[in-house]
Amino acid sequence: MDLKLLLEAKQQVQGQFIAFKHLRISTKIVVAQKNITMNERIRSLREESLKAINKISAERAVLLTRFYKSKEAQKVSLPVKRAMAFKYILENKKIWIGREELIVGERGPEPKATPTYPEICLHSVKDLETLDSRQKVSFKSGEDTRRIYHDEIIPYWDGKTQRDKIFSNMEEAWLQAYQAGVFTEFQEQRAPGHTVLGNKIYSMGFRDFKEQIRKTLEGLDFFDDPEALNKKEELMAMEITADAIILFARRYANTLESLAESELDKNRKKELQEMTGICRRVPENAPRTFHEALQYYWFVHVGVITELNPWDSFNPGRLDQHLYPFFKKELENGSLTRERAKELLQAFWVKFNNHPAPPKIGITAKESNTYTDFTLINVGGLKQNGTDAVNELSYLILDVVEEMRILQPGSMIQLSKQNPDAFINRALKIVKTGFGQPSIFNTDAIVQELTRQGKSIQDARNGGASGCVESGAFGTEAYILTGYFNLTKILEITLHNGQDPRTGQQLGPETGNPKGFNGFDELLNAYEKQIKHFADIKIRGNNIIEKLYAKYMPAPFLSLLIDDCITNARDYNAGGARYNTSYIQGVGLGSVADILTSIKYNVFDQKKVSMDEILQAASHNFEGYGELRNDLIYHTPKYGNDDDYADAQSVIVFNMFYKAVNGRPTPRGGTFRINMLPTTSHVYFGSVIGATLDGRKAGMPLSEGISPFQGSDRKGPTAALKSAAKIDHLKTGGTLLNQKFTPQLFQDEKGIFSLAKLIRGYFRMNGHHIQFNVVTAGILRDAMKYPEKFQDLIVRVAGYSDYFNDLTEELQEEIIRRTEHDGF
């Protein structure tokens, strides 16, 4: 209630004691709300970040190329060369400090000036032009920048990139399947990432890591260990990167110091002096204060995303857990107030938003078309000892999420059965404001998923979810996503006896003409063979790519951070982490379930239509088959309605995919696993598939995550959740479920209560994750019509939120189509 209204109300009820008492309470709330609004500094930092234009910066590419051309670079081993390149960049890159900043450190020469990584993927001048001019997720680049790429960067890196190595090493079958849209490949433009920092930086400085390196070096066995020399080189490389980040912080300290000297404003001067001290102390030494801890993490973050362009970027993970000891201690001794803690967190938030994901092109841009770099702050969950981890800071971080309303960082809550209802209710009050954050994860499921994979219970409890929905043991696991897997395309290929109907190419084995199938099981057998065939191709490719990264692209800085790379003296990209997992992400479960169900129901069980006719209709994109299409859409059982007849197919397909992938070994000593999430690939994957037998027209998006196909869950949210819970989530490393609600549903406490219980119910059935879009279709349609009026409109896409305006038109349409539930 705003103050004016309140005063009016006050005049109306003068003299009435009860009403007056009630008013007193309201006034208090107004005051309390005032306290929690962001201050001027944060408001302006936030605005600047929102206004900054995404552009390409040639700085990193130039420095990297210069170093690679230098004499020193030719004399050293590859890991050392990578480390020295990292150091060279941090020594020479521009230092940028925002006018009112509290947390410093920038990857580019200014906010949203985004580097490229030519050692991984080299952008041609044409690529830069496309990036500059494309309507969505553009990166501006001037003539100057393009000239630098043309003159310096491209001549040196042409033919030498990881991307070149990858494509030249792939077999013909891989290339054909990739081109056809059977799967995508994450590492063709970005280095392996997908890891989250644990708690070690909060008790150790880089000086301590160097000490660990020294001890490991001393323990190397040059008599019996044939790997000893490689280990030595890797450890030396790690040490160089440790020095590099300390040096980088000192450069910031020096600049801050000179800024302090010339600063006229007394308060800011004092602040700059403090920040100077902080940057001299961390990351060399362990942090002592809340501010030091945040600044330390941020230097580490910038380091990781400067060394390489890992996908996902990087992530502090369990921020409320890591920072709580500092918060508590400083509140007690009076050196920190809640307001200051919040201001620091908000300044920290802005830093993430200043760092968009590096530019993606081609298929990779289609599968993940967003500025988001998938940092996902985890709040809540369980402590390592298995008890409720929600603390005061968890709530403070949720306040920050609510007030900042920015794209990055993403945020989520971990909800264990042990966490209080007040916690989920608080989170839902943010969800209802409609910007797609925080998403909600089931801690108890995540812990079981991770322990099933062989992690210790402590490591599992210290974990959480990152990226979109991926489970990981934070600080100890390299869990690399390798590519989306188009389950629907493979079904289309199966229905064409191994051929891709778009090109006529024989991509898979001949598993029989479906017109000759005598029963539904014959179709399932054929489909399973095709899934296995393409999973094998993908895995063979992955194994080569993994090896290419282990061999040519060590990441010594990242290796310092993830246990046990130092003590194993082995690089992150070569299996140095305690746990190593490679994921393949299944896409289109809802669509596949609906198509198979349609065949089972209409062709085999009800015999409403012959296989020949239904395939004919689809091949004509249902032109002239309107009635059949109407039947397929409205009179055929669909996944998402708690109807076992349809849901059985989702379970069958899930298990086929699981069997084809799960448990197979990877070259770095890890294991292949599955998860079920699409980012935006369900739109791309849909675009390469003709009309499907569930009535979907050619080229239209597929279902996303494990959500029912857009609009086909008609029995309400409980039924949709029941259907989604029928697959065994614990066999995955994450599933994604999207539900859209209109804001009305959240209007009162009762709505919040019902939604909280809906989530608890889903999690009781081991559901992994759920997220909500809270907007009306009307608003979205308006936003399509008048984008200029809705520039701040953020919606949940799939595992992440994005500005509605930045989505492609198809994606916008799809978000509008997603079922709106008006009530329970």
Partner 1 sequence: MRCMWCHNPESQEETVNKVEKKRILDGEQFLEDITIGTWVSKQEIIDEVSKDAVFYDESGGGVTLSGGEPLMQPKFIESLLKSLKNKGFHTCIDTCGYAESATFKKIMPLADLFLYDIKLIDDVQHVYYTGVSNELTLMNLKLLVQNEKEVIIRFPVIPCVTDNEDNLEAVGYLLKNLGLDRIDLLPYHAMARNKYQRMGMKYQLNEVPEPDNKRLESLKSFFEADGFKVTIGG
Q: Should residue 652 be labelled a site residue for partner 1 when binding is judged by CB under 8 A?
A: no
Contact 603, 610 (CB under 8 A): yes
Smallest gap from residue 12 Cβ to partner 1 (A): 11
- Applying CB under 8 A, among 50, 95, 765, 779 the residue interacting with partner 1 is 765
Q: Should residue 754 be labelled a site residue for partner 1 when binding is judged by CB under 8 A?
A: yes
Q: Should residue 9 be labelled a site residue for partner 1 when binding is judged by CB under 8 A?
A: no
- Applying CB under 8 A, among 39, 610, 619, 630 the residue interacting with partner 1 is 630
Task: Provide the CA 219 distance to its chain's centre, in angstroms.
Answer: 38
Segment interacting with partner 1, rule: CB under 8 A, options 137-145, 425-433, 584-592, 761-769: 761-769
* Number of C-beta neighbours around residue 147 at 10 A: 12
Q: Should residue 78 be labelled a site residue for partner 1 when binding is judged by CB under 8 A?
A: no
Angle between helices 520-552 and 172-180 (to 10 degrees): 110
Q: Should residue 627 be labelled a site residue for partner 1 when binding is judged by CB under 8 A?
A: yes
Smallest gap from residue 718 Cβ to partner 1 (A): 5
The CA distance from 630 to 609, in Å, is 13
The CA distance from 446 to 98, in Å, is 39
Nearest CB to partner 1, comparing residues 227 and 627: 627
Task: Provide the CA 181 distance to its chain's centre, in angstroms.
Answer: 21
Smallest gap from residue 675 Cβ to partner 1 (A): 24
Of 670, 590, 673, 681, the C-alpha closest to 637 is: 590
Smallest gap from residue 765 Cβ to partner 1 (A): 6
The CA distance from 239 to 210, in Å, is 6
Question: What is the phi-psi region of residue 770: left when phi exceeds 0, alpha when psi lies from -120 to 50, beta otherwise?
Answer: beta
**Phi and psi torsions of 85, nearest 5°:** -65, -45
CA torsion 552→553→556→558, rounded to 10°?
Answer: -150
Smallest gap from residue 641 Cβ to partner 1 (A): 10
Segment interacting with partner 1, rule: CB under 8 A, options 186-194, 448-456, 509-517, 755-763: 755-763
Segment interacting with partner 1, rule: CB under 8 A, options 391-399, 676-684, 686-694, 758-766: 758-766
Segment interacting with partner 1, rule: CB under 8 A, options 350-358, 437-445, 515-523, 756-764: 756-764
Of 92, 125, 97, 93, the C-alpha closest to 111 is: 97
Nearest CB to partner 1, comparing residues 148 and 632: 632
Report 722-741 residues binding partner 1 (CB under 8 A). 722
**From 121, 279, 468, 565, the catalytic residue:** 468
Smallest gap from residue 722 Cβ to partner 1 (A): 6
Q: Should residue 626 be labelled a site residue for partner 1 when binding is judged by CB under 8 A?
A: yes
* Number of C-beta neighbours around residue 728 at 10 A: 13
The CA distance from 132 to 126, in Å, is 10
Angstrom distances, CA of residue 676 to CA of 314, 505, 687: 21, 28, 19
Smallest gap from residue 761 Cβ to partner 1 (A): 4
Smallest gap from residue 753 Cβ to partner 1 (A): 7
Contact 521, 538 (CB under 8 A): no
Segment interacting with partner 1, rule: CB under 8 A, options 241-249, 514-522, 595-603, 753-761: 753-761
Nearest CB to partner 1, comparing residues 565 and 633: 633
Binding mask 560-599 for partner 1 (x = CB under 8 A): ----------------------------------------
Q: Should residue 753 be labelled a site residue for partner 1 when binding is judged by CB under 8 A?
A: yes
The CA distance from 467 to 489, in Å, is 25
Segment interacting with partner 1, rule: CB under 8 A, options 29-37, 62-70, 309-317, 750-758: 750-758
Nearest CB to partner 1, comparing residues 12 and 35: 12
- Applying CB under 8 A, among 59, 492, 642, 704 the residue interacting with partner 1 is 642
Q: Should residue 69 be labelled a site residue for partner 1 when binding is judged by CB under 8 A?
A: no
The CA distance from 283 to 296, in Å, is 5
- Applying CB under 8 A, among 136, 761, 784, 817 the residue interacting with partner 1 is 761
Contacts of 814 (CB under 8 A, 6+ apart): 683, 701, 710
The CA distance from 226 to 189, in Å, is 33
- Applying CB under 8 A, among 9, 95, 217, 758 the residue interacting with partner 1 is 758
- Applying CB under 8 A, among 207, 764, 781, 785 the residue interacting with partner 1 is 764
Smallest gap from residue 629 Cβ to partner 1 (A): 7
The CA distance from 143 to 56, in Å, is 11
Nearest CB to partner 1, comparing residues 337 and 630: 630
565 is catalytic: no
Smallest gap from residue 648 Cβ to partner 1 (A): 15
Smallest gap from residue 531 Cβ to partner 1 (A): 30
Element (H, E) at 478: strand 477-486
CA torsion 716→717→723→728, rounded to 10°?
Answer: 180
Q: Should residue 781 be labelled a site residue for partner 1 when binding is judged by CB under 8 A?
A: no
The CA distance from 583 to 312, in Å, is 13
171 is catalytic: no
Q: What is the DSSP string of 569-613?
A: T--GGGT-SSEEEEEEEEE-HHHHHHHHHHIIIIIIIS--S-HHH
Smallest gap from residue 644 Cβ to partner 1 (A): 10
Nearest CB to partner 1, comparing residues 167 and 753: 753
Q: Should residue 757 be labelled a site residue for partner 1 when binding is judged by CB under 8 A?
A: yes
Nearest CB to partner 1, comparing residues 610 and 630: 630
Report 385-444 residues binding partner 1 (CB under 8 A). none
Q: Tokens in use for 235?
A: 């450890």
Report 683-722 residues binding partner 1 (CB under 8 A). 718-719, 722
Report 168-187 residues binding partner 1 (CB under 8 A). none
Q: How many residues bind partner 1 (CB under 8 A)?
A: 20
Q: Should residue 629 be labelled a site residue for partner 1 when binding is judged by CB under 8 A?
A: yes
**Phi and psi torsions of 411, nearest 5°:** -140, 155
Element (H, E) at 380: strand 376-380
- Applying CB under 8 A, among 92, 634, 785, 789 the residue interacting with partner 1 is 634
Segment interacting with partner 1, rule: CB under 8 A, options 221-229, 285-293, 517-525, 625-633: 625-633
Q: Should residue 633 be labelled a site residue for partner 1 when binding is judged by CB under 8 A?
A: yes
* Pairing status of strand 579-587 against strand 464-466: unpaired
Kindly tell me the burial class for residue 16, based on how many C-beta atoms sit within 10 Å of its own C-beta (0-12, 13-18, 19 or more).
Answer: exposed
Smallest gap from residue 708 Cβ to partner 1 (A): 16
Q: Should residue 6 be labelled a site residue for partner 1 when binding is judged by CB under 8 A?
A: no
**Phi and psi torsions of 638, nearest 5°:** -130, 145
Q: Tokens in use for 428?
A: 């839902």
Q: Should residue 544 be labelled a site residue for partner 1 when binding is judged by CB under 8 A?
A: no
Contacts of 221 (CB under 8 A, 6+ apart): 228
Interaction site with partner 1 (CB under 8 A): 622, 626-627, 629-630, 633-634, 642, 718-719, 722, 750, 753-754, 757-758, 760-761, 764-765
Which residues participate in catalysis according to the annotation? 468, 470
